Each structure stands twice: as structure tokens, then as C-alpha cells.
């Protein structure tokens, strides 16, 4: 059994990790830390876990976490990079659901997150945990940077086009929408029910923290510089991301449906829908799946890709567990076979 610790178990990604790991046949939940809730039974805060998780929150302790095989950080940026060096020195593998190890360029991290990176050596060895792209490197990694939610939906959606060299990488557009849980479990005015309900708005138009992460990932898929216009929006729903992606063809398109199906053939968590389909966020709610469809409207030079995920599962906790499975030689689908919730 893989002994698992979670730092920051009181947020939405933390409780989603608990929900999924509690049903995982190959893990033992060893430690769940929270400075403010230490001593409180986890199931008291999250009643959905009653009968499934019977331990209490504990103070973050190197001795406690150092006894784990893997530690997930479901924390704000800046936390994981302070604690990771001591953990990997003790042989613990780390999966960070925050942003500390996502950007290879430390200067870019400081620009977008407002703090210098504190462990450049660990940053240099960390692996970006998008399994469909980096599966082999993930197997050997000590530190995984779990991708962000928008970056997961956008990168998977554009991957086949960029790998095939069919589109202009300098003219990519990602028009993406997210539910309010993407903002985390904290009190903020814009996420209040009376502020978000019955409304729809863009944010981060001038620059969003996920922009450099997406651009970095897309650039690794092609030998050319990447130009990306990324505009996120807030939808009045709890879970889900819908990314509508636009790319301009520079080569004969061929059969795009076949291209997408072949690219993701055998991928357990990417579903390329039949031609003419319209993926919905509710079709992935609670499931570790990216569901997509590809279009070429009017047979013109623009390709449109529709990509949907649950931001808390394939966009966070589920993908983190997928990475853990790969790292420890477990079946990649272990603990992640939940069917999406309908309605």
C-alpha cells in the first residue's frame, strides 16, 4: 500500500483528493494536515466522507509527512517549495497541485506569482505532470508539478494539431470558462452566490497566471514560438471547464477526426467524441476525463476544438492521483473509474 499524506486538506482540491483516495484500492491515508483545524476529525468538516475517512487533521510535521511514500500539496503557491526539499531528502515523492513547480523559468514564476522561487535545484528536476505528454518522465520523477485546470483543457485540446504541424502556433486562441470552485474555498466577493449567479463575465483578460503555463506547454509540443490569446470567464456553476479553442490551418487538414482519435487512442482519460458532437461540462462532472470534439467550420482554415473537464478532478485532484499511479507502478486508472454525475 502507498502511504499518502495531504498538506492542505481543507480546500476544494484537498477534499476532492480525499474523496478519490478513500476509494483507491492501493493507498493508505496516513496524514492530512491543517494548522487551523488540527485535531478535528476530517469527516466532521466533510460529512460526505463519514464512514470512509476516519482520521483527524494534524499539524504539518516533517516527521509525520516524512513517513509517507508520497505527499500531495493542495496549498496556495509558496508552500510546497518550502517543504519539498526536506521531504525528498527523506525519500518522499511530492505532487504539488499548486503552481510552485509548473513554470520552468524562475523569473516567470516571480513575475506572475509575486515571490522568488526558493528551491531552484528542485524546480530544475521537477516534471510537469500531464500524463498524456510526459508519462515516461513521470514514472521516474521525485517531484511532480500537477497542471492547472485551464492548462489541462487547453493543452490536451490543441495537442494533436501542434504535434502534426497543421496550424500556425503564433495564432492560437483559447476562450475558456470555469465554474466558481476554480477560485478555491475562500470568501471572495466575486464568488458569492448573489454576485456570480445569473451572470457571466470575463476576467484576467490582460494576463492570467495560467497563460505562461499554457504557453510553455504548447511551445514544448512544437518547434516554433507560440502566440496565445487566452481569455478566461466565470460561469454561474460550481464545477467544470469548457475551453473553446481556435487555430489557423497552415497545411492540408486531412481527416481531423481521425487525427484526434489516433492521437488519444489508448488514453484512458481522454474521450474524443464522434464527429458533430458537442461536449458538455456536466458529462465530466466528478470524473477524471477530458472530453473533446473537433470541428472545421465551413471547411475553412479555422479549426475549432471543444474541450471539457471537471476542474477539480482532471483539472486537479484526479490528475494528481493519475500521476501518483504512474509514479508507483499502479494501474493508471486505479481509484479513478468513477462515472460522471447526471443530471
The answer to whether residue 340 is domain-embedded is no
Asked whether residue 17 falls in the same domain as residue 121, the answer is: yes
- Whether the pLDDT of residue 134 is over 80: the answer is yes
Asked whether residue 287 falls in the same domain as residue 168, the answer is: yes
Identify the band that residue 187 occupies on the pLDDT scale cut at 50, 70 and 90.
Answer: low
Domain that holds residue 34: 2-125
* Percentage of the chain lying above the pLDDT 90 cut: 90
The answer to whether residue 331 is domain-embedded is no
The answer to whether residue 184 is domain-embedded is yes
Q: What would the mean pLDDT of 307-322 be, rounded to a whole number?
A: 98
The answer to whether residue 322 is domain-embedded is no
Q: CA-CA distance, 10 to 260, in Å (whole number)?
A: 38
Asked whether residue 158 falls in the same domain as residue 279, the answer is: yes
At 36 the pLDDT is: 86
At 195 the pLDDT is: 83
Asked whether residue 158 falls in the same domain as residue 215, the answer is: yes
DSSP letter (8 states) at residue 56: B
At 186 the pLDDT is: 66
Question: Residue 230's closest CA among 157, 292, 288, 128?
Answer: 157
Identify the band that residue 281 occupies on the pLDDT scale cut at 50, 70 and 90.
Answer: very high
Question: Residue 212's closest CA among 155, 288, 139?
Answer: 155
| 176 φ, ψ (degrees, to nearest 5) | -120, 145
Asked whether residue 109 falls in the same domain as residue 168, the answer is: no
CA dist 314 to 124, 148, 311, 330, Å?
Answer: 25, 9, 6, 18
Q: Exactly one of 68, 119, 149, 290 is catalytic; which is it?
A: 149
At 234 the pLDDT is: 95
pTM of the model: 0.96
Identify the band that residue 279 occupies on the pLDDT scale cut at 50, 70 and 90.
Answer: very high
Could you read off the pLDDT of 68-117 as tens digits, one per residue?
Answer: 999 999 999 999 999 999 999 999 999 999 999 999 999 999 999 999 99
Q: What is the domain count for the chain?
A: 2
The answer to whether residue 62 is domain-embedded is yes
Q: Mean pLDDT score of the chain, rounded to an integer? A: 95
Asked whether residue 88 falls in the same domain as residue 155, the answer is: no
Question: Residue 104's closest CA among 84, 127, 80?
Answer: 127
More confident residue, 190 or 335: 335
Asked whether residue 184 falls in the same domain as residue 221, the answer is: yes
- Please say if 149 is a catalytic residue: yes
Asked whether residue 44 falls in the same domain as residue 77, the answer is: yes
Q: What would the mean pLDDT of 179-199 be, rounded to a whole number?
A: 79
Asked whether residue 121 falls in the same domain as residue 213, the answer is: no
The answer to whether residue 138 is domain-embedded is no
Asked whether residue 161 falls in the same domain as residue 260, the answer is: yes
Q: What is the CATH number of the domain that holds 74?
A: 3.40.50.720
Could you read off the pLDDT of 245-270 as tens digits, one per residue?
Answer: 999 999 999 999 999 999 999 999 99
Determine whether 323 is exposed, middle or buried from the number of CB atoms within 10 Å of its CB (0-12, 13-18, 19+): buried
Asked whether residue 178 falls in the same domain as residue 40, the answer is: no
Q: What is the CATH number of the domain that holds 259?
A: 3.30.360.10
Asked whether residue 52 falls in the same domain as residue 158, the answer is: no
Amino acid at each position: 500500500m502507498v502511504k499518502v499524506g495531504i498538506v492542505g486538506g481543507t480546500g476544494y482540491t484537498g477534499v476532492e483528493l480525499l474523496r478519490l483516495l478513500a476509494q483507491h484500492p492501493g493507498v493508505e491515508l496516513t496524514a492530512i494536515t491543517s494548522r487551523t483545524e488540527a485535531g478535528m476529525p476530517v469527516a466532521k468538516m466533510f460529512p460526505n466522507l463519514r464512514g470512509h475517512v476516519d482520521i483527524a487533521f494534524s499539524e504539518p510535521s516533517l516527521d509525520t509527512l516524512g513517513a509517507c511514500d508520497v505527499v500531495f500539496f493542495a496549498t496556495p503557491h509558496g508552500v510546497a517549495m518550502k517543504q519539498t526539499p526536506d521531504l525528498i531528502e527523506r525519500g518522499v515523492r511530492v505532487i504539488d497541485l499548486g503552481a510552485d513547480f509548473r513554470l520552468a523559468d524562475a523569473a516567470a514564476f516571480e513575475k506572475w506569482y509575486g515571490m522568488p522561487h526558493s528551491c531552484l535545484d528542485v524546480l530544475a528536476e521537477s516534471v510537469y505532470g500531464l500524463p498524456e505528454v510526459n508519462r515516461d518522465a513521470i514514472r521516474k520523477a521525485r517531484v511532480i508539478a500537477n497542471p492547472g485546470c485551464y492548462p489541462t483543457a487547453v493543452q490536451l485540446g490543441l495537442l494533436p494539431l501542434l504535434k502534426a504541424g497543421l496550424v500556425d502556433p503564433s495564432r492560437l486562441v483559447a476562450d475558456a470558462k470555469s465554474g466558481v470552485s476554480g477560485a478555491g474555498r475562500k470568501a471572495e466577493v466575486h464568488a458569492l452566490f448573489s454576485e456570480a449567479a445569473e451572470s457571466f463575465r470575463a476576467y484576467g483578460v490582460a494576463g492570467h497566471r495560467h497563460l505562461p503555463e499554457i504557453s510553455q506547454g504548447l511551445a514544448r509540443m512544437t518547434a516554433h514560438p507560440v502566440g496565445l490569446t487566452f481569455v478566461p470567464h466565470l460561469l454561474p456553476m460550481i464545477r467544470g471547464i469548457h475551453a473553446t479553442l481556435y487555430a489557423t490551418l497552415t497545411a492540408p487538414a486531412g481527416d481531423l477526426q481521425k487525427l484526434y482519435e489516433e492521437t488519444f487512442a489508448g488514453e484512458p482519460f481522454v474521450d474524443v467524441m464522434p464527429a458533430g458532437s458537442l461536449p458538455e461540462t456536466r458529462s465530466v462532472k466528478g470524473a477524471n476525463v477530458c472530453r473533446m470534439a473537433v470541428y472545421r467550420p465551413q471547411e475553412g482554415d479555422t479549426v475549432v476544438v471543444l474541450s471539457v473537464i471537471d476542474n477539480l478532478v482532471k483539472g486537479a485532484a484526479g490528475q494528481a492521483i493519475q500521476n501518483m499511479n504512474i509514479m508507483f507502478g499502479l494501474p493508471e486508472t486505479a481509484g479513478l473509474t468513477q462515472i460522471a454525475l447526471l443530471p
